Amino acid sequence: LYSTYLGGFGNELCWDLAVDSAGRATLTGSTAAADFPTTPGAFDTSLDSWYDAFVTRFNADASALEYSTFIGGDNADYSHAVAVDSAGNATITGYTHSPNFPVTPDAADSSYDAQEIFNAKLNTDGSALSYASFLGGADSEYTTDIAVDDTGRVYLTGTTRSPDFPVTVGAFDTTYNTTADYSGDAFLL
């Protein structure tokens, strides 16, 4: 039905997409291109480091961008997954090396410890962050997928190398089990 390029003069890594009920594709990934196409009024229209996360929404026939924005801080930021809720809000997850990643005042975790997971929700037109937070422990974490249910609850999965990764009381497994330096435990949040 259609095929199009997306990018600038630099490297782009597109990791995931979600299609809403109107047929609009929302893509996420990372870019090193300062001229990556952003839209007027988008949350962030300038590359902040050598790699920033991006979120781009096409219209239903991919003839135009509804919005396109960078998300990141002063160091590398990588978005790996996107989900779109019934209201059209895009929520992304990935990992960041940026202590100044733009977390919101109501963030569950606003302190950067190491390579951190981030979870960020954009409003429907991509002009603002509705919510953004770090998540992790003293070592590194990676996320691989995200889902949003009908109530708007967000689910994340990935790998952690942090024995102090935040777990809840009564969870299936509250003990960090990995002893090898190069691997980690899976998590579901």
Handedness of CA 41, 151, 94, 56 (dihedral sign): negative
In the chain, the percentage of residues whose pLDDT exceeds 90 is 79
* Residue 78 pLDDT exceeds 70: yes
Q: What local confidence, expressed as pLDDT, does residue 9 receive?
A: 93
* Residue 187 pLDDT exceeds 70: yes
CB atoms within 10 A of CB 59: 13
Q: What is the pLDDT of residues 101-160, one digit of tens each?
A: 999 999 999 999 888 999 999 999 999 999 999 999 888 899 999 999 999 899 999 999
Q: What is the pLDDT of residues 11-56, one digit of tens each?
A: 999 999 999 999 999 999 999 999 999 999 999 999 999 999 999 9
Per-residue pLDDT band at 75 (split at 50, 70, 90) = very high
Which residue's entry shows tokens 């300062």? 34
Q: What local confidence, expressed as pLDDT, does residue 15 receive?
A: 96
User: pTM value?
Assistant: 0.92
Nearest to 89 by CA among 153, 31, 30: 153
